[in-house]
Amino acid sequence: MRDCGRRCVYCGAWLEHDHATIDHVHPRARGGITAYGNLVAACAPCNRLKGDMLPHDFFVRYPLAGMNFLLYARVVHRALKRGARRAVSLALAA
């Protein structure tokens, strides 16, 4: 929670501890691991919306979520951040 400024990394909504969920940026269903650089705080609706989508697919479909991710997900692995930047750029260019 502290690492994301108590905000959902996808929509930017303020998170209370009892309503926050933990999301695997690279989903476990797609080979992601439960490690510090792959976990973020998200609100339940955003976590359900993302589901088991890969970050690139999610951010291309929802570029605002990608922009919020770049702003609030401060301790995510660098490769995930680079991928988010590329996906948001592609989505906004289209």
Tell me, what's the pLDDT at 73?
93
pLDDT over 90 (residue 1): no
5 Cβ neighbours under 8 A, 6+ residues apart: 72, 74
- The CATH code of domain 2-93 reads 1.10.30
Tell me how far apart the alpha carbons of residues 23 and 20 are, in angstroms, rounded to a whole number. 10
Classified as helix, coil or strand, 82 is: helix
For the segment 13-34, what is each residue's pLDDT rounded down to a tens digit? 999 988 899 999 999 999 999 9
Please give the mean pLDDT across all residues of the chain: 93
**Terminal CA-CA length for the chain:** 33
State pTM to two decimals: 0.91
For the segment 53-71, what is each residue's pLDDT rounded down to a tens digit? 999 999 999 999 999 999 9
Q: Where are the domains of the chain?
A: 2-93
For residue 20, which phi and psi values (nearest 5 degrees)? -80, 150
